[in-house]
Structure 1
């Protein structure tokens, strides 16, 4: 795979990972929670997924380039904001669409 394919695959992975916490009622996809998860659990799972995707990105960069490029704090803030934007479909599904479907 060339670099362009890795980039597209990584963006797709980040999009899926950002939405996974909102699509499951299980705590970290393992333990069912009686009465559903609280918003804090969704946010914690989402943040853990951000760090997992970041570590995968660092591993891919290291394997393709042989080293990690130094990044400033700005890079990580922008990456966090992009991850938040990627999570919007899952968030809307969980808190807007599902309640509407359950009422009808």
Structure 2
């Protein structure tokens, strides 16, 4: 696998993982279904998905060669990018027009 392929793979994985908490009503994708899942659960799942994305990226980087040392700037940029990638899922879950229930 080339480094370009690995970068695109991590970006697609991050996009899917960032939107996953907003697209389902199950706890951690496998748990019981919650009618309206609380926003705090969605944030916790977003953090867990972010950590799993970082782990996948680190594994891909180690398979390509030596892992570059990361400082706090890398993690701050990752959090900002991950939250930005989660924006479509947030819009879909909370800001789209809901169908009326009284019809």
The normalised TM-score by structure 1 is 0.90
* Structure with the higher helix share, 1 or 2: 1
Q: Which residue of 2 aligns with 1:64?
A: 64
**Aligned residue in 2 for 1:22:** 22
Q: Secondary structure at the match of 2:29?
A: coil
Query: Residue 101 of structure 1 aligns with which residue?
Result: 98
| Unaligned residue ranges in structure 1 (runs of 5+) | none
- Is the 2:22–2:89 Cα contact (8 Å) retained in structure 1? yes
Q: How many residues align?
A: 101
Normalising by structure 2, we get a TM-score of: 0.91
Instruction: List, as ranges, runs of 4+ consecutive aligned residues in structure 1 with deviation greater than 6 Å.
Output: none
Taking a change above 3 Å as real, the CA distance of residues 34 and 80 of structure 1, as seen in their structure-2 partners, is: closer
Structure 2: stretches of 5+ with no match in the other structure:
none
Please list the CA deviations of residues 39-64 of structure 1 after superposition, one character each: whole Å capped at 9, or x if unmatched. 00000000000000000000000011
